[in-house]
Amino acid sequence: MIDIDEETLQDIINIKTGLFFPLDGFMDSKDYRSVVDSMKLSTGEVWTIPITFDIDELIDDEEIILYFNHKEVAKIEVEDIYKTKDDDIEKIFGTTDTNHPGVQKELKRKKYRVGGKISLLDDTILQGALDPKKTKEYFRTKGWNTIAGFQTRNAPHKAHEYLHRLALEFCDALFINPLVGWKKKGDFTQEAVEVGYKKINEVYYNNLNIYFETLKTPMRYAGPKEAIFHAIIRKNLGCTHFIIGRDHAGVGDYYGVYEAQELAKKLQDDLDIKILLFKEPYYCRVCEQIVSKNCCSHKDIDKISGTKIRKMLMSNQIPPKEFMRREVAQEVLKLKNIFI
Ligand SMILES: [Zn+2]
Where are the alpha helices (H) located in the chain, listed in sequence order? 6-17, 29-38, 88-93, 101-107, 132-142, 158-170, 190-203, 224-236, 259-267, 306-314, 326-333
Instruction: Please say whether the beta carbons of 257 and 280 come within 8 A.
Output: yes
Annotated catalytic residues are: 153-154
106, 126, 146 — which closes off a domain? 126
pLDDT number for residue 160? 97
Q: What is the pTM of this model?
A: 0.96
Measured in Å, residue 320 CA sits from the centre of ligand 1 at 18
Question: How many Å apart are CA 315 and CA 239, to the nearest integer?
Answer: 38
CB of 49 within 8 A of CB of 87? no
DSSP structural state of residue 215? B
Mean pLDDT, rounded, for 26-37: 98
Number of domains in the chain: 2
Handedness of CA 305, 306, 308, 313 (dihedral sign): positive
Residue 111 confidence (pLDDT)? 86
What's the rounded Cα separation, in Å, for the pair 298 and 314? 31
Quick one: 220 and 323 in the same domain? yes
Provide the pLDDT for residue 306.
87
Give the C-alpha separation, 13 to 15, whole Å: 5
Average pLDDT, integer, range 132-140:
98
Nearest C-alpha neighbor of 77 from the set 39, 113, 115, 51:
115
For ligand 1, the distance from its centroid to the CA atom of residue 289, given in whole angstroms, is 8
Q: Which amino acid is at 318?
A: I
pLDDT tens by residue, 295-304? 999 999 999 9
Q: Does residue 340 lie within any of the structural domains?
A: no
Residue 305, domain CATH:
3.40.50.620
Separation between Cα atoms, residue 267 and residue 321, nearest integer Å: 38
Instruction: Choose one of 110, 126, 142: the last residue of a domain.
Output: 126
Distance CA 120, CA 307 (A): 42
Cα(283) to centroid(ligand 1), Å: 8
Report residue 124: phi and psi, to 5°.
-65, -15
Q: Which residues of 13-49 are buried (b: 16+ CB within 10 A; e: fewer)?
A: bbbbbbbbbebebbbbbebbbbbbeebbbbeeebbbb
State the Cα–Cα distance between residues 132 and 323, nearest whole angstrom: 33
Q: Ligand 1 center to residue 282 CA distance, Å?
A: 9
- What percent of the chain stands above pLDDT 90? 96
Residue 273 has pLDDT above 90, yes or no: yes
H or E element: which one contains 77? strand 71-83
Residue 338 domain flag = no
Distance between Cα 318 and ligand 1 center (Å): 24
Question: How far, in Å, from the CA of 109 to the mean position of ligand 1?
Answer: 48
Are 277 and 313 in the same domain? yes
Average pLDDT, the chain: 96
> Measured in whole angstroms, how far is the alpha carbon of residue 49 from the centre of its chain?
11
Same domain, residue pair 122 and 234: no
Provide the residue range defining the domain that includes 116: 2-126
Answer yes or no: do 35 and 171 share one domain. no
Tell me the sheet residues that pair with 149: 175, 242
Q: What is the pLDDT of residue 155?
A: 97
Where helices occur in 80-205 by DSSP H, the ranges are 88-93, 101-107, 132-142, 158-170, 190-203
pLDDT of residue 307: 87
CATH number at residue 116: 3.10.400.10
- Are 37 and 253 in contact by the 8 Å Cβ rule? The answer is no
* Furthest C-alpha separation in the chain: 69
Residue 195 has pLDDT above 90, yes or no: yes
In whole angstroms, what is the distance from residue 330 CA to residue 314 CA? Answer: 12
> Last residue of some domain: 108, 126, 144?
126
| Dist CA 236 CA 177 (whole Å) | 13
Tell me what the mean pLDDT of segment 150-177 comes to.
Answer: 97
Q: Are residues 216 and 109 in the same domain?
A: no
pLDDT grade for 331, boundaries at 50, 70 and 90: very high
Tens-digit pLDDT profile for residues 76-130: 999 999 999 989 999 999 999 999 999 999 999 998 999 999 999 999 999 999 9
Q: 162 C-alpha vs ligand 1 centroid, how far in Å?
A: 15
Measured in Å, residue 304 CA sits from the centre of ligand 1 at 14
Which whole number is the average pLDDT over 243-259? 93
Q: 178 near 214, Cβ under 8 Å?
A: yes
Give ion ligand 1 contacts, CB < 5 A.
284, 286-287, 296, 298
Residue 305's pLDDT band, with cuts at 50, 70 and 90, is confident
In a domain, 169, yes or no: yes
The answer as to whether 168 is a domain residue is yes
